[in-house]
Amino acid sequence: MENRYSIKEVSQILGIPKDTLRYYDRIGIVSPSREHNSYRRYSKDDLVDLMNIQIMQYADFSLEEIKGKFQFHRMQSVDPAYYQEVAEFLDAKKAETRKKIAHLEKVSQLLDVAVEALRDLNYESDQRLAVFVREIYRDLHRKDPGTKEDCDGHQN
């Protein structure tokens, strides 16, 4: 017979709070079997699923995305179209992640320029900061076509 783990054991092994494990069961993302006393009993497959969930959450997937897209081992036969759909979903997620990286790079540059301007208070560093801030402001408004003027009241 396969080894089964209690909710307390799983919580200790994987470092997932028991309340989180109960929540996953309630929403159907990982549903362990139940004993006659209705205690949850987790299989090795359940532990693998929970580890994969932790990895996907680390990769910034929401629980809805995880639940909706990643139920491979639960399906007896998987339609190749399903794999294609998941691959497209992952491509879109990767593109979204690259956008976030580009945004964070820009924020990091802004902080570098701001720190430089504050550490070396002079006209040149102040101007560099002003130029950079204007560039970011323009980028923001390219994404939001509803805004027509910049902070100086000029039309874009």
Residue 144 identity: D
Q: Is the pTM of this model over 0.95?
A: no
Pairing of β 33-34 and β 40-41: antiparallel
pLDDT value of position 155? 47
pLDDT value of position 1? 57
pLDDT value of position 147? 44
Tens-binned pLDDT, residue by residue, of the chain (156 aa): 578 999 999 999 999 999 999 999 999 899 899 888 889 999 998 999 999 999 999 998 999 888 887 765 555 666 788 788 888 989 999 999 999 999 999 899 988 888 887 887 777 777 888 888 888 888 878 765 554 444 554 444
